[in-house]
Chain A
Amino acid sequence: MGKFLNYQMSIFGTYEHIKPGMNTIQILMDAFKGFEGEIFIPSTIEIQKIELPINTLITETRLKMMSISKKWEILFMPDRIDANYNGSDVNGEVQKESIKELVDFSKKILDLALSAFDLKGGRLAVNCRRVMKKLNSDEIDDFQNKLINPLNFYNDKLCNDWSLMINGNDNIEINDKTESLNVITNISLGKLDKIDDPVRIILVFDINTKPDNMSIRFGIKNLGAFGDRCVKMIGDLVVNIEGLVSL
C-alpha cells in the first residue's frame, strides 16, 4: 500500500490582517475549543516576502495553529490559508490516512478558521505527495516502460531518476457556476530522504481552481464540494497509476 507523505488544502485571498495578536489568537483558541480529534495551540512563524515594484525584501511574523500531535497545522499567510498535514509521526513512521480522511479533516479545521473571522477566498487548492509501495527493480522497469517511452539512448541505460508531469483541465460546479480546475499529476522516480534509501515512485497531485479568476467567491460552504471532487479525482488517479504495477 502507498502512503500520503504530506497534504495541503488551501484557500487564497487577502488575509494580511490575520496575524499574531492577543485578540486574534483568542478568537482562534475559542474557535478550536472543544474541537474533536486534535488539540490546537497557537504559534508563530517568520516569513520573507518580496514586494515589487518597491523592490524590498520584507520579513514579518505570521500566525499558525498547530496540533499537539504535530500532524496538522494551519498557516495564516498574507495571501493564503493552508491546512497542512505531515504524514510522519515522531518516529518518522509514515501514517496511513486515506485521501478522504485528509480532505475531511482539513475541511473541518479550515471551516473553523474561516468561520472565526468570517473569511472568504478567491481560489481553492488541494495538493499532496504520496509514495507508492516498495517495488523491486523489475516492477520499476515495467512501470516506467508503461509510463514513459525512453529515448533510444536510454534503452540500455539504468534510469534512476525521471519524472512525468501532466496538467489536464477539468470543470466543477460551485455555487451554480462552472469553475475551471488545473488537475496536475507528477509521477517521478526518486529517493525519499537519504542518499542510500531505495528508489521509490513518488506521486504528487495538485488540484486547484485556475488563478485567472481570483474574485472572492468561495466560502466555507464551498470547501465540501471542492474537497469531495478532489477525493474522487485523486482516488481515481491513485488507482489508475498504482494499477500499472502488474507483475
Chain B
Amino acid sequence: MSKSKSKNEYLIKNNTYLLESAIEDYNPIKNNTYLLESAIEDYNPNNSIARDNNSNLLYFTDTNKKNTSAEQQEILIDKSSIGSEINDIKKVSIIDNSHPAFTKEIFEIMAEDIFESGITPRSEKFVRSKVIPKIGILKTMLWLADVFTTYIGNSNTSIGILHIISHFEYNEIKPIGQTIAMAGFSNKNIEVKDFAIKAFENWNSKESICILQNSETSAKWLNEYLEEVIENLKKHGE
C-alpha cells in the first residue's frame, strides 16, 4: 500500500478505498505479507465493508495457517492462489446489508401502517425518500430481502415489504424483488401469499406466469385469484 496516502484519506474514503488501494498495489511477485500487514494496519473496523454476519471482521490472510483451511470468508487474498493460477483468483466476502437503523425505523412506521391496494403506505414513502437516496435501489432491495427473511415470522412485516416492492417497476428491482415475492409463497400465512400474488400482478410480466403456475394455496378464494392473475398475465402481460 502506498505510504504517501494520508490516514485522513483512508478515513474519508472508508474501506472501499483501502481495498481498492490494496488491489492497486497488489503484486503477486512480491511477498503478500507486506500488502496484508499494511492493509491490516490501516483497517478501520467501524467502516467494515467486507465482514461476516457475526464478527464485524475484515478477513485478510494469515499466510501460514490458512492455506489449508476451507472455512468460508476467512481468506480475501491468499498465498496459495499465487503462481500459475493467478488468473483464477476470485476471493469473496459477504457484504452486510442489514442496515439496523433503517430496520428500526421501518418497523416503527409499519406498526401503524395500512397496507391496502391503492394506498401508498408511510413505510413506502420512507423507503423512497430516505433509504433509496442514501444507499441506492439495489442495496435497498438487498436490505428489504434481509429484513424479509430475518423477520419471516412477522406477517405484518412480510405484507408490508411485499406491498412496497409491488409498486416498483419489474426490471427496476429484478431479481431481488421477485426473489422476495417468491419467498412469500412459502409463507403459511394466507395474507402474505395474497400480497405475493398481488406483487406479481402489479409487475405484469409474462415471465411470472411459470412461477405462478407452480404455486398453490389451500384457500379456494386465493386459488381463484391466482388463476385470474395468470390468465390476465397471459393476455395482457409484457
Contacts and interface: CB of A to CB of B under 8 A. Distances in A.
B211 A26 contact: yes
Contacts of A29: 182, 185-186, 214
B176 interface: yes
B89 A52 contact: yes
Contacts of B77: 50
Nearest to B178: A22
Given A56-B23, A79-B90, A165-B65, A25 B70 contact: no
Contact of B207 (A10, A22, A41): A22
A206 interface: yes
Interface residues of B, number: 54
A22 B211 contact: yes
A55 B87 CA distance: 11
Nearest to B90: A49
A55 B179 CA distance: 31
A100 interface: no
Contacts of A77: 72, 92
Contacts of B187: 41
A59 B24 CA distance: 17
A25 B186 contact: no
Contacts, number: 149
A49 B95 CA distance: 10
Given A25-B179, A47-B92, A50-B89, A208 B214 contact: no
Contacts of A79: 90, 92
A206 B71 contact: yes
Contact of B148 (A43, A61, A167): A43
Given A50-B23, A50-B76, A61-B142, A43 B183 contact: yes
A96 B176 CA distance: 34
Given A8-B71, A127-B70, A51 B89 contact: yes
B182 A42 contact: yes
A20 B152 CA distance: 19
B13 to A, nearest CB: 13
Contacts of B233: none
Contacts of B92: 47-49, 77-79
A61 B80 CA distance: 26
B89 A44 contact: no
A243 interface: no
Contact of A59 (B95, B178, B186): B95
A82 B72 contact: yes
A119 B1 CA distance: 40
A66 interface: yes
B149 A41 contact: yes
Contact of A48 (B50, B65, B142, B180): B50
Interface of A: 8, 10, 12, 19-23, 25-26, 29-30, 39-53, 55-57, 59, 61, 63, 66, 68, 70, 75, 77-80, 82, 84, 123, 125, 127, 165, 167, 182, 184, 206, 208, 210-211
Interface of B: 16, 19-20, 23-24, 26, 28, 49-50, 65, 68-72, 76-77, 80, 86-87, 89-95, 97, 138-139, 141-142, 145-146, 148-150, 152-153, 175-176, 178-180, 182-183, 185-187, 207-208, 210-211, 214
24 contacts: A19-B175, A22-B175, A22-B182, A26-B182, A29-B182, A41-B183, A43-B148, A43-B180, A45-B95, A45-B142, A47-B94, A49-B90, A49-B92, A50-B89, A52-B23, A52-B86, A55-B24, A61-B176, A68-B186, A70-B152, A77-B72, A77-B92, A167-B68, A211-B80
